[in-house]
Amino acid sequence: RSPAKRFERSESQVTFDDVAGLANAKKDLQEVAGYLKNPGHYRKLGAKIPRGILLMGPPGTGKTLMAKALAGESEAPFFSISGSEFIEMFVGVGASRVRDMFSEAKKDAPSIIFIDEIDSVGRARGAGVGGGHDEREQTLNQILGEMDGFDPQEAVVVVAATNRPDVLDAALMRPGRFDRKITLDLPDKAARREILEIHSRDVPLHGKVDLQRLAALTAGFAGADLENLINEAALLAGREDRSAVDMDCLLRARDKVVLGSEREMVIGE
Ligand code: ATP
Protein backbone atom coordinates (compact mmCIF):
# COMPACT_ATOMS: atom_id res chain seq x y z
CA ARG A 1 0.00 0.00 0.00
CA SER A 2 1.33 3.42 -0.86
CA PRO A 3 2.19 5.66 2.09
CA ALA A 4 -0.05 8.34 0.63
CA LYS A 5 -3.10 6.22 1.25
CA ARG A 6 -4.78 7.70 4.31
CA PHE A 7 -8.45 8.22 4.07
CA GLU A 8 -11.33 6.34 5.59
CA ARG A 9 -13.61 3.97 3.75
CA SER A 10 -16.72 2.85 5.56
CA GLU A 11 -20.21 1.54 5.09
CA SER A 12 -22.54 3.91 6.85
CA GLN A 13 -25.44 2.62 8.92
CA VAL A 14 -26.80 6.12 9.50
CA THR A 15 -30.05 7.02 7.74
CA PHE A 16 -32.17 10.17 7.45
CA ASP A 17 -34.19 8.92 10.42
CA ASP A 18 -31.15 9.58 12.60
CA VAL A 19 -31.13 13.22 11.51
CA ALA A 20 -33.64 15.54 13.18
CA GLY A 21 -35.08 18.60 11.47
CA LEU A 22 -33.22 19.86 8.38
CA ALA A 23 -36.15 18.92 6.17
CA ASN A 24 -34.97 20.88 3.13
CA ALA A 25 -31.49 19.43 3.23
CA LYS A 26 -32.93 15.93 3.53
CA LYS A 27 -35.21 16.51 0.58
CA ASP A 28 -32.33 17.64 -1.64
CA LEU A 29 -30.18 14.74 -0.57
CA GLN A 30 -32.98 12.21 -0.96
CA GLU A 31 -32.83 12.96 -4.66
CA VAL A 32 -29.10 12.31 -4.73
CA ALA A 33 -29.59 9.05 -2.80
CA GLY A 34 -32.17 7.97 -5.40
CA TYR A 35 -29.62 8.52 -8.12
CA LEU A 36 -26.81 6.70 -6.31
CA LYS A 37 -29.08 3.72 -5.76
CA ASN A 38 -29.88 3.41 -9.42
CA PRO A 39 -27.58 5.50 -11.61
CA GLY A 40 -28.43 3.50 -14.74
CA HIS A 41 -32.05 4.56 -14.59
CA TYR A 42 -31.10 8.26 -14.46
CA ARG A 43 -28.48 7.82 -17.18
CA LYS A 44 -31.11 6.46 -19.56
CA LEU A 45 -33.19 9.57 -18.92
CA GLY A 46 -30.23 11.81 -19.63
CA ALA A 47 -30.52 13.36 -16.18
CA LYS A 48 -27.54 15.19 -14.77
CA ILE A 49 -27.13 14.81 -11.07
CA PRO A 50 -25.08 17.27 -9.01
CA ARG A 51 -21.46 16.23 -8.80
CA GLY A 52 -20.45 18.34 -5.85
CA ILE A 53 -22.51 19.34 -2.84
CA LEU A 54 -21.38 21.89 -0.29
CA LEU A 55 -22.87 21.54 3.18
CA MET A 56 -22.63 24.83 5.03
CA GLY A 57 -23.51 25.57 8.64
CA PRO A 58 -22.26 26.35 12.13
CA PRO A 59 -20.23 23.72 14.04
CA GLY A 60 -22.20 20.74 15.30
CA THR A 61 -25.24 21.22 13.08
CA GLY A 62 -24.93 17.76 11.58
CA LYS A 63 -22.93 18.21 8.40
CA THR A 64 -20.92 15.04 8.89
CA LEU A 65 -23.99 13.22 10.14
CA MET A 66 -25.93 14.29 7.04
CA ALA A 67 -23.16 13.12 4.69
CA LYS A 68 -23.13 9.75 6.46
CA ALA A 69 -26.90 9.56 6.23
CA LEU A 70 -26.66 10.15 2.49
CA ALA A 71 -24.24 7.23 2.27
CA GLY A 72 -26.46 5.02 4.44
CA GLU A 73 -29.58 5.84 2.43
CA SER A 74 -27.74 5.29 -0.85
CA GLU A 75 -26.16 2.06 0.37
CA ALA A 76 -22.97 3.46 -1.10
CA PRO A 77 -19.46 3.29 0.38
CA PHE A 78 -18.31 6.45 2.12
CA PHE A 79 -14.77 7.77 1.56
CA SER A 80 -13.80 10.54 3.90
CA ILE A 81 -10.92 12.84 4.61
CA SER A 82 -10.60 16.09 6.52
CA GLY A 83 -9.10 19.20 4.97
CA SER A 84 -7.30 20.02 8.20
CA GLU A 85 -5.18 16.86 7.85
CA PHE A 86 -3.38 18.40 4.91
CA ILE A 87 -2.10 21.44 6.72
CA GLU A 88 1.03 19.95 8.24
CA MET A 89 1.91 17.69 5.37
CA PHE A 90 4.89 17.64 3.11
CA VAL A 91 4.29 19.12 -0.28
CA GLY A 92 2.74 16.61 -2.62
CA VAL A 93 1.39 14.21 -0.01
CA GLY A 94 -2.04 15.82 0.19
CA ALA A 95 -2.42 15.83 -3.57
CA SER A 96 -1.51 12.18 -3.88
CA ARG A 97 -3.92 11.24 -1.09
CA VAL A 98 -6.67 13.06 -2.91
CA ARG A 99 -5.74 11.28 -6.14
CA ASP A 100 -5.80 7.88 -4.40
CA MET A 101 -9.10 8.55 -2.73
CA PHE A 102 -10.83 9.60 -5.95
CA SER A 103 -9.42 6.62 -7.78
CA GLU A 104 -10.66 4.17 -5.11
CA ALA A 105 -14.05 5.85 -5.00
CA LYS A 106 -14.40 5.51 -8.77
CA LYS A 107 -13.53 1.83 -8.60
CA ASP A 108 -16.18 1.42 -5.93
CA ALA A 109 -18.89 3.51 -7.63
CA PRO A 110 -21.65 4.31 -6.91
CA SER A 111 -19.89 5.95 -3.99
CA ILE A 112 -19.60 9.10 -1.92
CA ILE A 113 -16.53 11.17 -1.15
CA PHE A 114 -16.74 13.40 1.91
CA ILE A 115 -14.25 16.22 2.48
CA ASP A 116 -14.73 17.73 5.93
CA GLU A 117 -13.42 21.23 6.71
CA ILE A 118 -12.87 22.00 3.06
CA ASP A 119 -12.05 25.60 4.07
CA SER A 120 -8.69 24.51 5.46
CA VAL A 121 -7.51 23.72 1.93
CA GLY A 122 -10.08 25.71 0.00
CA ARG A 123 -9.47 29.24 1.27
CA ALA A 124 -9.30 31.87 -1.40
CA ARG A 125 -5.82 31.71 -2.85
CA GLY A 126 -3.53 34.54 -1.87
CA ALA A 127 -5.64 35.38 1.19
CA GLY A 128 -3.74 33.13 3.61
CA VAL A 129 -1.92 34.30 6.69
CA GLY A 130 1.82 33.93 6.32
CA GLY A 131 3.59 32.30 3.41
CA GLY A 132 4.35 28.75 2.34
CA HIS A 133 0.95 27.47 1.32
CA ASP A 134 2.20 25.28 -1.49
CA GLU A 135 0.84 22.16 0.08
CA ARG A 136 -2.61 23.57 0.56
CA GLU A 137 -2.71 24.96 -2.92
CA GLN A 138 -1.57 21.72 -4.52
CA THR A 139 -4.16 19.79 -2.57
CA LEU A 140 -6.89 22.19 -3.60
CA ASN A 141 -5.78 22.05 -7.24
CA GLN A 142 -5.85 18.27 -7.11
CA ILE A 143 -9.41 18.29 -5.76
CA LEU A 144 -10.51 20.72 -8.47
CA GLY A 145 -8.73 18.70 -11.15
CA GLU A 146 -10.32 15.45 -9.99
CA MET A 147 -13.76 17.03 -10.08
CA ASP A 148 -13.24 18.42 -13.57
CA GLY A 149 -11.90 15.06 -14.74
CA PHE A 150 -14.97 13.01 -13.88
CA ASP A 151 -16.65 11.16 -16.68
CA PRO A 152 -20.23 12.52 -16.59
CA GLN A 153 -21.44 8.91 -16.29
CA GLU A 154 -19.43 8.22 -13.17
CA ALA A 155 -21.67 7.72 -10.16
CA VAL A 156 -19.47 9.41 -7.59
CA VAL A 157 -20.87 12.30 -5.58
CA VAL A 158 -18.49 14.57 -3.69
CA VAL A 159 -19.79 16.20 -0.54
CA ALA A 160 -17.79 18.88 1.25
CA ALA A 161 -18.52 20.56 4.56
CA THR A 162 -17.59 23.94 5.96
CA ASN A 163 -18.56 26.40 8.65
CA ARG A 164 -16.67 29.15 6.80
CA PRO A 165 -18.27 29.40 3.37
CA ASP A 166 -17.26 33.08 3.33
CA VAL A 167 -13.54 32.28 2.97
CA LEU A 168 -13.82 29.70 0.18
CA ASP A 169 -12.09 30.15 -3.13
CA ALA A 170 -14.69 30.96 -5.78
CA ALA A 171 -13.11 28.32 -8.02
CA LEU A 172 -14.65 25.64 -5.80
CA MET A 173 -18.15 26.79 -6.61
CA ARG A 174 -17.90 26.80 -10.42
CA PRO A 175 -20.39 24.69 -12.38
CA GLY A 176 -19.44 21.03 -12.27
CA ARG A 177 -17.67 21.49 -8.96
CA PHE A 178 -19.48 22.28 -5.67
CA ASP A 179 -22.32 23.96 -7.47
CA ARG A 180 -25.09 22.70 -5.19
CA LYS A 181 -25.15 24.42 -1.81
CA ILE A 182 -27.10 23.21 1.18
CA THR A 183 -27.30 25.25 4.37
CA LEU A 184 -27.78 23.52 7.71
CA ASP A 185 -29.12 25.98 10.27
CA LEU A 186 -29.14 25.71 14.03
CA PRO A 187 -32.18 23.66 15.06
CA ASP A 188 -35.42 25.42 15.99
CA LYS A 189 -37.43 24.34 19.02
CA ALA A 190 -39.19 21.46 17.28
CA ALA A 191 -35.93 20.15 15.85
CA ARG A 192 -34.20 20.49 19.22
CA ARG A 193 -36.89 18.38 20.78
CA GLU A 194 -36.47 15.76 18.07
CA ILE A 195 -32.69 15.75 18.54
CA LEU A 196 -33.13 15.33 22.30
CA GLU A 197 -35.45 12.40 21.61
CA ILE A 198 -33.03 10.74 19.20
CA HIS A 199 -30.13 11.00 21.62
CA SER A 200 -32.10 9.81 24.63
CA ARG A 201 -33.35 6.69 22.86
CA ASP A 202 -31.06 4.53 24.96
CA VAL A 203 -31.17 6.62 28.13
CA PRO A 204 -33.74 5.78 30.84
CA LEU A 205 -35.62 9.05 31.43
CA HIS A 206 -37.63 9.71 34.56
CA GLY A 207 -41.39 9.79 33.91
CA LYS A 208 -41.62 13.49 34.64
CA VAL A 209 -38.98 14.56 32.14
CA ASP A 210 -40.34 17.22 29.82
CA LEU A 211 -38.25 17.30 26.66
CA GLN A 212 -40.50 19.98 25.17
CA ARG A 213 -39.56 22.30 28.02
CA LEU A 214 -35.90 21.40 27.69
CA ALA A 215 -36.10 22.20 23.98
CA ALA A 216 -37.52 25.62 24.89
CA LEU A 217 -34.61 26.20 27.27
CA THR A 218 -31.87 25.35 24.78
CA ALA A 219 -32.20 28.07 22.13
CA GLY A 220 -28.91 28.46 20.24
CA PHE A 221 -27.77 24.89 20.96
CA ALA A 222 -26.48 22.91 17.98
CA GLY A 223 -27.27 19.20 17.62
CA ALA A 224 -23.83 18.35 18.96
CA ASP A 225 -24.50 20.44 22.10
CA LEU A 226 -27.80 18.65 22.69
CA GLU A 227 -26.16 15.26 22.31
CA ASN A 228 -23.54 16.41 24.77
CA LEU A 229 -26.24 17.63 27.18
CA ILE A 230 -27.94 14.24 27.27
CA ASN A 231 -24.65 12.50 27.88
CA GLU A 232 -23.67 14.90 30.66
CA ALA A 233 -27.04 14.32 32.30
CA ALA A 234 -26.57 10.55 32.14
CA LEU A 235 -23.09 10.92 33.67
CA LEU A 236 -24.51 13.08 36.47
CA ALA A 237 -27.24 10.54 37.17
CA GLY A 238 -24.61 7.81 37.25
CA ARG A 239 -22.39 9.71 39.64
CA GLU A 240 -25.34 10.31 41.97
CA ASP A 241 -26.48 6.72 41.76
CA ARG A 242 -29.87 7.46 40.29
CA SER A 243 -31.70 4.81 38.30
CA ALA A 244 -33.03 7.27 35.71
CA VAL A 245 -32.16 10.68 34.32
CA ASP A 246 -34.52 13.31 35.71
CA MET A 247 -35.23 16.92 34.84
CA ASP A 248 -32.84 18.15 37.52
CA CYS A 249 -29.92 16.28 35.90
CA LEU A 250 -30.92 17.58 32.48
CA LEU A 251 -31.07 21.20 33.62
CA ARG A 252 -27.74 20.99 35.40
CA ALA A 253 -26.23 19.36 32.32
CA ARG A 254 -27.64 22.19 30.25
CA ASP A 255 -25.88 24.77 32.43
CA LYS A 256 -22.67 22.80 32.17
CA VAL A 257 -22.84 22.74 28.36
CA VAL A 258 -23.53 26.49 28.30
CA LEU A 259 -20.56 27.17 30.59
CA GLY A 260 -18.35 24.82 28.58
CA SER A 261 -18.98 26.63 25.34
CA GLU A 262 -18.44 30.02 27.02
CA ARG A 263 -15.08 28.81 28.29
CA GLU A 264 -14.15 27.61 24.82
CA MET A 265 -15.02 31.02 23.46
CA VAL A 266 -12.74 32.73 25.96
CA ILE A 267 -9.87 30.35 25.19
CA GLY A 268 -10.52 30.69 21.49
CA GLU A 269 -10.27 34.50 21.52
P1 ATP B 1 -18.40 20.36 12.75
O2 ATP B 1 -18.63 21.59 11.93
O3 ATP B 1 -18.00 20.67 14.17
O4 ATP B 1 -17.57 19.31 12.08
P5 ATP B 1 -20.83 19.01 11.98
O6 ATP B 1 -21.77 20.02 11.46
O7 ATP B 1 -20.14 18.11 11.03
O8 ATP B 1 -19.83 19.70 12.99
P9 ATP B 1 -21.68 16.62 13.21
O10 ATP B 1 -20.31 16.12 13.51
O11 ATP B 1 -22.41 15.98 12.12
O12 ATP B 1 -21.65 18.18 13.03
O13 ATP B 1 -22.58 16.58 14.52
C14 ATP B 1 -22.08 16.14 15.76
C15 ATP B 1 -23.08 15.24 16.44
O16 ATP B 1 -24.21 16.01 16.85
C17 ATP B 1 -23.64 14.19 15.51
O18 ATP B 1 -22.86 13.02 15.54
C19 ATP B 1 -25.02 13.96 16.07
O20 ATP B 1 -24.97 12.99 17.06
C21 ATP B 1 -25.41 15.29 16.68
N22 ATP B 1 -26.29 16.03 15.77
C23 ATP B 1 -26.02 17.20 15.15
N24 ATP B 1 -27.07 17.62 14.41
C25 ATP B 1 -28.02 16.67 14.55
C26 ATP B 1 -29.34 16.50 14.02
N27 ATP B 1 -29.90 17.40 13.19
N28 ATP B 1 -30.02 15.39 14.38
C29 ATP B 1 -29.49 14.49 15.21
N30 ATP B 1 -28.27 14.58 15.75
C31 ATP B 1 -27.53 15.66 15.43
Q: Is 20 in the pocket of ligand 1 (CB under 6 A)?
A: yes
Chain-wide mean pLDDT for the chain?
Answer: 88
Q: Does 50 score more than 90 pLDDT?
A: no
pLDDT tens-digit profile of 135-179?
788 889 999 999 999 988 889 999 999 999 999 999 999 988 998
Q: Is 115 in the pocket of ligand 1 (CB under 6 A)?
A: no
What is the spatial distance between Cα 157 and Cα 76, in angstroms, rounded to a whole number? 10
> How confident is residue 92, by pLDDT bands cut at 50, 70 and 90?
confident
Q: Do 123 and 169 form a contact (C-beta atoms < 8 A)?
A: yes
Q: Give me the interface pTM, i.e. the ipTM.
A: 0.96
Ligand 1 pocket test, pick from 55, 61, 185, 218 with the greatest ligand atom count within 8 Å of Cβ, gives: 61
DSSP state of 9: E
> Are β-strands 77-82 and 8-11 bridged in parallel, bridged antiparallel, or unpaired?
antiparallel
Picking from 262, 263, 221, the residue whose alpha carbon sits closest to that of residue 61 is 221
Q: Is 36 in the pocket of ligand 1 (CB under 6 A)?
A: no
C-alpha distances (whole Å) from 180 to each of 50, 78, 103, 201 are 7, 19, 23, 33
Q: Is 195 in the pocket of ligand 1 (CB under 6 A)?
A: yes
Q: Is 63 in the pocket of ligand 1 (CB under 6 A)?
A: yes
Residue 268 confidence (pLDDT): 52
Q: Is 163 in the pocket of ligand 1 (CB under 6 A)?
A: yes
Residue 65 confidence (pLDDT): 96
Rounded distance from Cα 196 to ligand 1 centre (Å): 12
What is the spatial distance between Cα 253 and Cα 226, in angstroms, rounded to a whole number? 10
Of 266 and 86, more confident: 86
User: Which residue's CA lies nearest to atom 2 of ligand 1?
Assistant: 59
User: Which residue's CA lies nearest to atom 15 of ligand 1?
Assistant: 224
Rounded distance from Cα 178 to ligand 1 centre (Å): 21
pLDDT tens-digit profile of 209-224?
999 999 999 999 999 9
Q: What is the pTM of this model?
A: 0.88
